[in-house]
Structure 1
């Protein structure tokens, strides 16, 4: 679920101001965007000393995602999935390996901003996130089953709390390996929960409503 951010055009940045700011701040317009960007950058500065050198950029994330798609071609581990979106420009299917926490007919996902990227571009948006904003109809493979669904960004405070609890309090065995890739030192449950909390607070949380 590493952010493979595009170089945003002026039009993309305008769309970002209209779509992200209301989901993450109580003020409006340019002020909300400025406040959000400052908060993300400050959190990233605090977080970056904890992270190793392996995954620092969007390119690193794309490199990691490719073998994950191959390794888990048949079945994904608990707490992860393969998200298929429709390319907003090409119209082709685009797959990404993401952390995905299911609660009944809803699945919570977060678009991540790694600290090194967030310091430089705190409002960076991944390609798959732009794809969802253009066309929210997606497919998500969980374990051996593929679901159709509709993805949307979360703005309601109650739903945000529910999503944060699901994302941050759920720890699976595979998360210890994930923690080793991102953070320095020995992985632990506390470090995993803190890492997921950073991702949630600085990223873009989404809910996917499954067609079941």
Structure 2
């Protein structure tokens, strides 16, 4: 098991959208979505959110090192409604990533099953025998001096899916403490950001899209 120091940022909560059923937050990189094991991992986004909105309920998570849009429910009914949308893949998530190397194609899909790498948890790995299905669509935005800027659209929600899929096609995400090495790993943060989340509002079913500015 891999253990990395936990030094969460002390940024104020950034509320992207708030109404009677939903709460969208711009999560900073380096902050756990939920508490980990042990008191040193107690500081997390949901604890900070519940200190202001005690009724807030978890719907989904972002990796500790990923920043961007995350939604919380403000009632059990809203939590169930959103949970079903995520389970049935009715939400639409869009991420921005800076990856190592010049991506030559304009767009593509990574379809590689994933499973936990038990000896190196929390790392995940591709496994065609026992892995769970995982698909990611991607599109090239531009090339730059660091490599390539991509738009990533996960069709499934496996742990570390985007990070492992980018590594598998030879373009690890810059600054990734688990999957990038050498120059690709020499960045102050994981260059992965949850840019946009689209879903149906629990009250009435209307479409709602919330986005967060990319900090890199």
**TM-score interval, normalised by the smaller of the two chains:** 0.3 to 0.5
Structure (1 or 2) with the greater strand fraction: 2
* Higher RCO (Cα < 8 Å, 6 or more apart): 1
Larger-Rg structure = 2
State the TM-score, normalized to the length of structure 1.
0.35
